[in-house]
DNA sequence: CTTGTATAATTCACGACTGAACTAATGATA
DNA sequence: TATCATTAGTTCAGTCGTGAATTATACAAG
């Protein structure tokens, strides 16, 4: 029998789009793909017949007939998203219809070493699966969002953010490990890229095709979306915003360069700066907040102190914002983006403080036209964005297999 | 009669591809478009029948039947490319088959003011047309490559590189002026972008879909090619590499920012640095070269002196290369490009001197993976690249009209 | 309620495009 | 100088996808 693979390509394309946007009407599919309404209608009919897609209520409308929402069939297939970060290990279990079925968050103890961390990771996954009550065989794939430099083609972690302290984390074949244990396809990707993907699919960037996504946490990373896709560059490592040089003669960064943004404006750098100043005798209410135990300082405290007009907190945050602004002005000049999305603890609350300073520096340093055209906004997703993105990314990869099974 | 416009869209697409690559075989068209050989065959047959395309000899082959080269019909339609730069005015006349029929280069005297410069520009165009012996009615379009910030949608020059000295060059409706005078469509574009386009179409970047093109002349500009197209950004001004901040506290740039790369590493900056050092009493053979008239120093002399081991020349060029490297390391981290193409007088001869220093800084400052993946090369096109690109760009815009006429 | 207007989804005849089988052209090998 | 292997280009039957017409659904106004 002759395989009609052109049509099945279209069916896969549509399936992917419905998944990426969680819910989608035929009319939207027409707008998005540029295909004719007739074809979309036929393709969707076949997808519904194969029980891959279901109609799921009507979307609201101002005028005229309402659009029928289409979703992937839930309950048949699930994916797991895992974030392995410097401080947290997060696991989410997703169905294909866009529902988060289960999520877990624990702390990572990196000093235990790689093997122990992975043992812990697997245990957390197993626990999450059994707690969620989902049949193990229904797991279609696993996505790992990993901090540091990742070779996503090989599924290998090339280095953890702090390689000096984490030598054993070099060239780790993470995908292989996971696939061996769980016998399902695994994708390993950069953490920030996965968070950006989640933002694009279910966050504030749903309608945006081109944007810059910046995450400032213990490290600083970014993901540049171009034409609806994360830009990967030649070797898949595009987006290293955190290692832009802000001060040619600045402090040494673990990457070997001097004056990287990460070393000046990451949460770690901010905490370090505050603790250092207090040690030097600068007065701050943060000192009281932690009852003199400076190791307890965290970024939320500093933000809170700044809101309460603590001058040290304010100054340190402002310095960080200026550094971020200097680096971002370069990006604005280079890429002329319409939107920059910020995420991470610095922007979870009181984000206006940071945004205003960053904006000011951009207006001052970037070319007028580009500076006026860029809009700075804040992520709407929470801390589980990377894991969520990883789960969704894994799902997008497994859809082809699912489709093949049903046909 | 029902217009069969899907097919004519394909015909236009193919026509555009043949133009962009100057010569192209059916087999290449199949590879490039992903369309079936049958369709390509049919479309090309129709294009040949409408006398838009001709077969033009056979391409060499290692094995098997040789490919038939296809070119656009020459002799029916021409476009003019103009570069308005800080020092030179260049005009080229192109036919659609990729031949440069005529070219002129004169100096611009910007101090005459905008109106006089444009008068001069028009006179040069008129002279070029009459010298080339081409019928005025055969001119299908004009492309202007302009330095500074350009709004290509509106065809307006927003500002000349040195706005302080060139106040009357703000918001100039250049396209309107040209279209009024010549009654043919005109496109106004950024000079570097047009040079990059020429490089992509007929230069060293023919086979590259993603690359960063950097031009270091009196100013510094760049163009980022993504997926075969110049990336424009939200407002069309992406690529302002020259205004990346290299030294937060560096010298004031005309753009208002401090420590822009342009202010530190452009040819103007280099010449200024050399002249300044000599005035301060630093010994250099450049002083002899210009017979003590420091205003006569040009970049070629400095390059020559460096080759002859003049320590001042060497040091100043090296400083510039380091600054370029610092900025480029940021771009390498951000975009992970596989190729960076350099152009401009600094790279016309003895380019290895600069490239080596830049490469060294990149290895030192950019992340290891990205630094290893980037290859630095030099443009193969000469100084008329921007004008050439502009002519070709204008041609690509006029092809649709030409096609409509013939059908 | 009806009528009007606007949008969503379906149906269908017909043209666009493909895949496979074909012919044509070329260098290598003997 | 034949034959082989390989690649380029053509032909054509049959499927894919389109545009236009049609039906379905919704809100608004009288």
pLDDT of residue B109: 84
pLDDT of residue A27: 97
Helix axes A114-132, A174-182, angle to 10 degrees: 40
* D30 C1' to A71 CA distance, Å: 40
List the single residue in B with minimal CA-CA distance to A244: B330
The pLDDT tens digits for B295-318 are 999 999 999 999 999 999 999 999
| Set of chain A residues whose Cβ sits within 8 Å of the Cβ of B227 | 227
The pLDDT tens digits for A210-257 are 999 999 999 999 999 999 999 999 999 999 999 999 988 888 888 888
Q: Which two tokens stand for residue B45?
A: 């047959």
* D11 C1' to A102 CA distance, Å: 58
> Beta carbon of B268 within 7 Å of strand D?
no
Picking from A336, A337, A363, A372 by the largest number of B CB atoms within 10 A of its own CB, the best residue to mutate is A336
**Confidence grade of residue A112 (pLDDT, cut at 50, 70, 90):** confident
**Residue A5 clears pLDDT 90, i.e. is over it:** no
The residue whose CA lies nearest the C1' of nucleotide C19 is B36
Which of A239, A258, A337 faces B234 most closely, judged by CB atoms?
Answer: A337
Contact B334 A364 (CB under 8 A): no
Q: Which chain D positions come under 7 Å from a protein C-beta?
A: 5-13, 15-21, 24-28
Helix axes B385-405, B191-202, angle to 10 degrees: 70
- Strand-pairing partners, residue B6, are none
The pLDDT tens digits for B88-111 are 999 999 999 999 999 999 998 888
The pLDDT tens digits for B24-67 are 999 999 999 999 999 999 999 999 999 999 999 999 988 999 99
> Beta carbon of B48 within 7 Å of strand D?
no
To 10 degrees, the CA torsion angle through A324, A329, A332, A338?
60
Contact (Cβ atoms closer than 8 angstroms) between residue B376 and residue B340: yes
The residue whose CA lies nearest the C1' of nucleotide D24 is A65
> How far lies A197's CA from each of A178, A192, A219, A391, in Å?
22, 8, 19, 10
| Set of chain B residues whose Cβ sits within 8 Å of the Cβ of A247 | 248
pTM here is 0.95
pLDDT of residue B149: 87
**Residue B163 clears pLDDT 60, i.e. is over it:** no
With CA of A62 and C1' of each nucleotide, the nearest comes out as D27
CA distance B286 to B279: 12
CA distance A386 to B71: 50
| Set of chain A residues whose Cβ sits within 8 Å of the Cβ of B374 | 234
**Residue A185 clears pLDDT 60, i.e. is over it:** yes
Which of B227, B234, B240 faces A334 most closely, judged by CB atoms?
Answer: B240
CA distance B374 to A238: 12
**Confidence grade of residue B4 (pLDDT, cut at 50, 70, 90):** low
Picking from B34, B147, B256, B367 by the largest number of A CB atoms within 10 A of its own CB, the best residue to mutate is B367
Chain B closest-CA separation from residue A339 CA (Å)? 9
List the single residue in B with minimal CA-CA distance to A241: B334
Measure the CA angle with vertex B46, ends B44 and B49; round to 5°.
110
Measuring CA to CA, which residue among A317, A318, A192, A325 is closest to residue A246?
A325
Contact (Cβ atoms closer than 8 angstroms) between residue A144 and residue A178: yes
With CA of A61 and C1' of each nucleotide, the nearest comes out as D26
Q: Which two tokens stand for residue B46?
A: 């129709």
pLDDT of residue A164: 59
């Amino acid at each position: 029998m002759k395989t009609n693979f052109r049509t099945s390509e279209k069916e896969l394309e549509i399936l992917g789009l419905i998944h990426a946007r969680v819910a989608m009407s035929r009319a939207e599919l027409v707008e998005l793909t540029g295909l004719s309404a007739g074809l979309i209608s036929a393709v969707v009919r076949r997808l519904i017949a194969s029980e891959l897609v279901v109609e799921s209520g009507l979307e609201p409308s101002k005028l005229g007939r309402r659009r029928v929402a289409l979703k992937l069939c839930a309950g048949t297939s699930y994916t797991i998203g895992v974030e392995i970060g410097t401080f947290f290990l997060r696991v989410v279990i997703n169905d294909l219809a866009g529902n988060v079925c289960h999520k877990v968050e624990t702390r990572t103890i990196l000093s235990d070493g790689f093997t122990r961390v992975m043992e812990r990771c697997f245990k957390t996954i197993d626990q999450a699966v059994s707690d969620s009550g989902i049949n193990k065989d229904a797991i279609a794939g696993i996505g790992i969002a990993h901090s540091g430099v990742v070779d996503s083609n090989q599924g290998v972690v090339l280095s953890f953010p702090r390689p000096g302290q984490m030598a054993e984390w070099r060239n780790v074949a993470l995908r292989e490990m996971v696939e061996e244990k769980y016998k399902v396809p695994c994708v390993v990707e950069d953490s920030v890229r996965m968070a950006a993907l989640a933002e694009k699919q279910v966050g504030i960037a749903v309608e945006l095709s081109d944007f810059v996504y910046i995450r400032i946490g213990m490290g600083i990373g970014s993901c540049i979306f171009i034409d609806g896709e994360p830009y990967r560059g030649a070797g898949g490592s595009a987006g290293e915003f955190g290692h832009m040089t802000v001060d040619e003669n600045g402090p040494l960064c673990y990457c070997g360069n001097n004056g990287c943004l990460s070393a000046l404006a990451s949460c770690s750098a901010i905490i370090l700066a505050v603790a250092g100043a207090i040690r030097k005798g600068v007065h701050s209410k943060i000192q009281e907040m932690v009852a003199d135990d400076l190791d307890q300082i965290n970024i939320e405290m500093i933000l809170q102190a700044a809101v309460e007009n603590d001058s040290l907190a304010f100054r340190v945050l402002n310095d960080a914002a200026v550094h971020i602004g200097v680096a971002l002005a370069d990006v604005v000049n280079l890429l002329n983006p319409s939107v920059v999305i910020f995420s991470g603890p610095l922007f979870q609350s009181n984000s206006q403080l940071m945004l205003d300073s960053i904006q000011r520096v951009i207006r001052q340093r970037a070319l007028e036209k580009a500076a006026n055209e860029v809009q700075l906004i804040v992520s709407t997703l929470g801390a589980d964005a990377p894991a969520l993105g990883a789960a969704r990314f894994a799902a997008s990869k497994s859809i082809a297999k699912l489709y093949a099974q049903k046909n």
